[in-house]
């Protein structure tokens, strides 16, 4: 299976919840020859004939016994090798040993491209994989494959067009107000994130950094000591220790849902690209943090009880000077002023002023890009947003500018040329690119050990969490039946 089947929401409606060896029987009977005293055959040497017959029968019996023994031995030998005891297959969730109720810990390693786990020894991540469920070829992010749109998609089960965070930076087309990664006003953040859902169901939640977690919305008040305000300078070890401390609370006060966020290896990926030794070091450090977490949970006797879901938000791809497209090169066909641009790369977003038809802009841009006269022009395709591939689910929101350009993997769009160094790493591209995939690992009572599942989109995780916690979730773009198919049924 590639992408899981997902329900698509109509623009005019609220999101709805749709994604042994065979044995040959032995026949030991054998015809034995016997002499008859009533035989009519002449016998001139009766003693000789009798001795010969007896000898023949004896040899035949010995042969049969030997043959039967050989067959029996062969049967036992091959049975012991081809019919080894079948290990017990988990068909239901493992019972909780110490915790009274399910607890889900959702961990994000930002920019953890699928395949990074093979760059270096990752014994702790490997342990989660070996004893849990893994998306065998990676988790598929939503488009655009950026940090804020994807983190909020994971916790709401909604595509960006529905949860409202359509980019890391964008403008409200009505008010002109700008959104950035420090915007905590609730009107930007649509949908119902998991911490809000958990509180709605009478349970406690705790967040140690996650985009949107500081927004006070609905019953979620970002409570003191259970909602950490983002500070990227906080050491990873301190973050792990704080989460472990929640398990030292009285049983009824342990949050049912927790988040834990690490900026790495995204931080390094932007600086040096996905193939630098600095990435290897960052991945090894994330593995150490997972080891510290596991050891702390084991010390408290709750490791096997806690459901750990480890994900990334997107992948990473390398970029370099030769992979640049300059909008100024289109001036022969159309002038694209800077104030029309809401984002350049890897998602080109253009909102022309009133009086300029978006369709005319797209037509002239594509004429230039396909002319062969624009450097790297063939690596940018410009669409009216309603003409984008439906699989991107990126058209219904008014916040999405009317013109969207899809940039080929590893290329960047800029206004005009410059002499600055342009090599590093980037993400945000079409989520069909394998380089944009990240990881999914589920470990805990309801995840089968050693199971591999096909890739799926991260909007499925919301329903997965609500299923584990046995709570009622909000409407979303995921498929409840698909989420449950990844879990073992409860006892």
Q: Give pLDDT tens digits for 297-352.
A: 999 999 999 999 999 999 999 998 889 999 999 999 999 999 999 999 999 999 99
Q: How confident is the model at residue 61 (pLDDT cuts 50, 70, 90)?
A: low
The residue out of 366, 393, 422 marking a domain boundary is 422
The string of DSSP codes covering 190-225 is -S--HHHHHHHTT--EEEES-TTTT--BTTB---TT
Lowest mean pLDDT of 81-85, 174-178, 261-265, name the range: 81-85
Residues 228 and 345 grouped into a single domain:
no
- Residue 66 within any structural domain of the chain: no
Any idea which residues carry the catalytic annotation?
A: 147
Q: Could you tell me the residue range of the domain that residue 269 belongs to?
A: 103-317+432-486
Residues 334 and 376 grouped into a single domain:
yes
Distance CA 334, CA 49 (A): 115
Q: How confident is the model at residue 422 (pLDDT cuts 50, 70, 90)?
A: confident
Percent above pLDDT 90 for the chain: 79
pLDDT of residue 143: 98
Residues 6+ apart with CB under 8 A from 250: none
pLDDT of residue 420: 78
Residues 122 and 222 grouped into a single domain:
yes
- Residue 112 within any structural domain of the chain: yes
336 burial (CB, 10 Å; 0-12 / 13-18 / 19+) is buried
Beta strands 205-208 and 227-228 are parallel
Residues 480 and 450 grouped into a single domain:
yes
Question: pLDDT higher for 446 or 50?
Answer: 446
Q: Which residue has the tokens 């990926």?
A: 269
Contact assessment for residue 439 and residue 461, using Cβ atoms and an 8 Å cutoff: no
239 sits in which H/E element: helix 236-246
Distance CA 53, CA 59 (A): 10
Q: List the CATH number of the domain containing 361.
A: 3.30.1360.180
What's the average model confidence in pLDDT over 427-444? 98
Model pLDDT for residues 176-223, shown as the tens digit of each residue:
999 999 999 999 999 999 999 999 999 999 999 999 999 999 999 999
Residues 218 and 339 grouped into a single domain:
no
Summary mean pLDDT of the chain: 87
Residues 142 and 184 grouped into a single domain:
yes
- Among residues 436, 391, 411, 420, the alpha carbon closest in space to that of 348 is found at 411
DSSP-derived letter for residue 412 is: E
Residues 335 and 357 grouped into a single domain:
yes
Burial 32-55, CB ≥16 within 10 A → b, else e: eeeeeeeeeeeeeeeeeeeeeeee
What does pTM read for this prediction?
0.82
pLDDT of residue 44: 37
- Residue 76 within any structural domain of the chain: no
DSSP-derived letter for residue 115 is: T
Residues 6+ apart with CB under 8 A from 193: 152, 155, 156, 212, 213, 217, 220
- Residue 228 within any structural domain of the chain: yes
Residues 310 and 445 grouped into a single domain:
yes
Distance CA 11, CA 316 (A): 31
Distance CA 162, CA 152 (A): 11
- Rounded to 5 degrees, what angle do the CA atoms 431, 341, 172 make? 85
- Residue 72 within any structural domain of the chain: no
The residue out of 389, 422, 455 marking a domain boundary is 422
Residues 304 and 441 grouped into a single domain:
yes
- Residue 60 within any structural domain of the chain: no
Residues 255 and 126 grouped into a single domain:
yes
Model pLDDT for residues 337-382, shown as the tens digit of each residue:
999 999 999 999 999 999 999 999 999 999 999 999 999 999 999 9
The string of DSSP codes covering 300-350 is TT-TTTSEEEEE-S---EEE-TTSEEEGGGGTTT----GGGEEE-SSEEEE
- Residue 27 within any structural domain of the chain: no
Q: How many domains does the chain have?
A: 2
Q: List the CATH number of the domain containing 131.
A: 3.40.720.10
What's the average model confidence in pLDDT over 393-413? 97
The residue out of 378, 398, 422 marking a domain boundary is 422
Residues 411 and 446 grouped into a single domain:
no
Write out the E strands in 73-208: 104-109, 133-135, 170-171, 178-179, 205-208
Residues 6+ apart with CB under 8 A from 176: none
- Residue 327 within any structural domain of the chain: yes
Residues 357 and 381 grouped into a single domain:
yes
């Amino acid at each position: 299976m590639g992408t899981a089947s997902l329900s698509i929401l109509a623009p005019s409606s609220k999101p709805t919840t749709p994604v042994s060896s065979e044995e040959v029987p032995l026949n030991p009977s054998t015809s034995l020859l016997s002499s008859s005293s009533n035989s009519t055959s002449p016998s001139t040497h009766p003693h000789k004939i009798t001795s010969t017959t007896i000898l023949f029968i004896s040899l035949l019996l010995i042969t049969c016994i030997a043959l039967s023994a050989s067959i029996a031995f062969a049967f036992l030998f091959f049975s012991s090798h081809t019919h080894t005891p079948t290990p017990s297959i988990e068909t239901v969730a493992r019972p909780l040993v110490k915790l009274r109720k399910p607890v889900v810990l959702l961990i994000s390693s930002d920019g953890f491209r699928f395949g990074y786990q093979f760059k270096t020894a990752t014994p702790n991540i490997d342990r989660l994989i070996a004893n849990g469920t893994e998306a065998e070829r990676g988790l598929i992010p939503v488009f655009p494959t950026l940090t804020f749109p994807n983190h909020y998609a994971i916790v709401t089960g909604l595509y960006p067009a529905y949860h409202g965070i359509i980019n890391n930076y964008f403008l409200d087309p009505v008010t002109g107000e700008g959104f950035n990664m420090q915007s905590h006003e609730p009107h930007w953040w649509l949908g119902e994130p998991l911490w809000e859902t958990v509180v709605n169901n009478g349970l406690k939640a705790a967040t140690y950094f996650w985009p949107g977690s500081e927004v006070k919305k609905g019953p979620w008040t970002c409570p003191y000591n259970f909602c950490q305000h983002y500070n990227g300078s906080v050491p990873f070890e301190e973050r792990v220790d704080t989460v472990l401390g929640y398990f030292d609370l009285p049983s009824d006060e342990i949050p049912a849902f927790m988040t834990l966020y690490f900026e790495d290896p995204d931080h390094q990926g932007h600086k040096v690209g996905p193939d630098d030794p600095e990435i290897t070091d960052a991945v090894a450090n994330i593995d150490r943090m997972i080891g510290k977490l596991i050891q702390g949970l084991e010390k408290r006797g709750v490791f096997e009880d806690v459901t750990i879901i480890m994900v990334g938000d997107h992948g990473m791809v390398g970029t370099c000077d030769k992979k640049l497209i300059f909008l100024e090169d289109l001036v022969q066909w159309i002038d694209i002023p800077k104030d029309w641009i809401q984002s350049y790369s890897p998602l080109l977003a253009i909102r022309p002023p009133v009086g300029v038809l978006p369709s005319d802009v797209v037509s002239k841009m594509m004429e230039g890009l396909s002319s062969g006269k624009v450097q790297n022009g063939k690596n940018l395709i410009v669409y009216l947003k309603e003409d984008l591939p439906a699989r991107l689910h990126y058209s219904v929101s008014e916040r999405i500018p009317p013109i969207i350009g899809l940039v080929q993997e590893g290329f960047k769009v800029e206004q005009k040329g410059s002499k600055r160094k342009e090599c590093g790493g980037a993400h945000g591209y079409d989520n069909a690119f394998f380089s944009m995939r990240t990881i999914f690992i589920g470990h805990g009572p309801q995840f089968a050990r050693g199971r591999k599942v096909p890739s799926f989109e991260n909007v499925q995780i919301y329903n997965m969490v609500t299923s584990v916690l046995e709570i009622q979730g909000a409407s979303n773009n995921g498929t409840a039946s698909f989420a449950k198919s990844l879990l073992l049924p409860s006892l």
